[in-house]
Amino acid sequence: MENTHITNSSTGTSAIELSGIRKTFTLSEDKNAQQVLALDGIDLSINQGEFLTIIGPSGCGKTTLLRIMASLILPDEGRVIVEGEAVSEPDIKRAMVFQTFGLFPWKTVLDNVVFPLIVRKYPAQQTREIAIQHIKQVGLEKFQNAYPHQLSGGMQQRVGLARALSTGADILLMDEPFGAIDAQTRELMQEELMRICQEEQKTVVFITHDLNEAVMLADRVLLMSRGPGQVREIISVNLPRPRTEYDVRAHQEFVRVRGHLWRELRNDLIEQRTEEMV
């Protein structure tokens, strides 16, 4: 074979690579309409198997960035490379999980999980098996015939997670997925997500506005600066895994990273308030 550049996961192809991402929204059809610069030159490389959390003030462009990573929207400028290939449309390597769960209320748990597999034209007998396997993985085997309204918020988000996992996506793109779940259930969901992602070597990009959650889950935390959205800082979290086996919050690394992020975010919020007042 020619001695060309050979890249694969073991030689370090990124799961997602963003370069020079810019995105502007226009607020109406009017040609004098106001423009909002949502992302202003994002460069970012996410490793395979990495857990990256994103934190930043409301409106700083987190959701826009995640939707661009999913190719649900296209940037005005810049490139999105997934596992070495430029992309411009959604594909099965990437699955989104939303805060509002995104379940069909008229479908059972099983049918909700089966749905994306049918859309992707998996063979019919396989879809059921795959769906049931992932419903078990998130601990909902007894509820496969229940409807979403019969489940708690935490259980509904487990269905959302099972659905994302069942597509076989290597990359999970999660937009404040536990934001609507009570605090204790949320901790259980965090543990479960960490376990599943470690077992299956998923790459995860996870938006949260909860500092503890951002540090607890992450290999690295991306801190965005408030609009126009830019990468302010990326911080590595050097906490051993599995993190369920000790009190992470008491670890000095947790306290260090959390303290640092809090000071940065606090400054941003104070500046924002001051500008709003003048």
Give the footprint of ligand ADP on this chain (CB under 6 A).
Answer: 25, 27, 36, 38, 56, 58-64, 227
* Tokens found for residue 96: 């989104």
Identify which of residues 23 and 62 has a Cβ nearer to Mg ion in the complex.
62
Among 14, 53, 63, 156, binds Mg ion (CB under 5 A): 63
User: Least distance from C-beta 177 to Mg ion, angstroms?
Assistant: 12
User: Least distance from C-beta 98 to Mg ion, angstroms?
Assistant: 10
Identify which of residues 63 and 112 has a Cβ nearer to Mg ion in the complex.
63
25's contact among ligand ADP, Mg ion, none, with CB below 5 to 8 A by partner kind, is ligand ADP
Interface with Mg ion (CB under 5 A), residue total 2
177's contact among ligand ADP, Mg ion, none, with CB below 5 to 8 A by partner kind, is none
Identify which of residues 49 and 78 has a Cβ nearer to ligand ADP in the complex.
78
Site for Mg ion, rule CB under 5 A: 62-63
